[in-house]
Structure 1
Amino acid sequence: MPASAQMGGKRGGGGGEAPKGDDKPKVDEKAYKAAIERIPEPKEKYDPWGVVAPAPAAPVAKKK
């Protein structure tokens, strides 16, 4: 017997019912906004390259 893919295809009889598009859970907008507001604001800006490259040193004023 020849091997076949699991997706069914044109020849096989396996497939079953088509998936329905309304299976997604409903999102409660009030709960979502309340959860977003509970996230604290960061005290300093996140620097994704902070670990890779050190922060540049502050320029030193030259004396005359």
Structure 2
Amino acid sequence: MRILVVAAAVLALTAASAQAQGRGRGQPNEGGQKSDNKPKVDEKAYKAALERIPESKEKYDPWSGARPAEPAKKPK
């Protein structure tokens, strides 16, 4: 009898977690209206912000730590 109760509990928990994962995916809004919560982007402000970013004086190398250091050249 205990095995039956434990099996039923495990099955119920599995079904509940599977149901929770499927909620909200692919379902239309209940109100029927599209909610536009995205902020409006002002093109002039965007371009002005891009121009305020200072230019880098040296190039950034993201792989510098992955490559071995270049050996120092010995003068002849």
| Structure number with higher relative contact order (C-alpha < 8 Å, ≥ 6 residues apart) | 1
Q: Deviations over 1:4-62 (max 9, x none)?
A: 623168xxxxx74457253211100000000000001110111111122244347667x
TM-score, reference length from structure 2 = 0.50
Give the number of aligned pairs.
57
> Which of 27, 39, 45 lines up with 2:41 in the alignment?
27
Q: Which runs of 5+ in 2 are unaligned?
A: 1-11
Identity of aligned residues (%): 56
TM-score, reference length from structure 1 = 0.57
Structure 1 outlier segments of 4+, above 4 Å: 57-61
Structure holding more helix per residue: 2
Q: Which runs of 5+ in 1 are unaligned?
A: 10-14
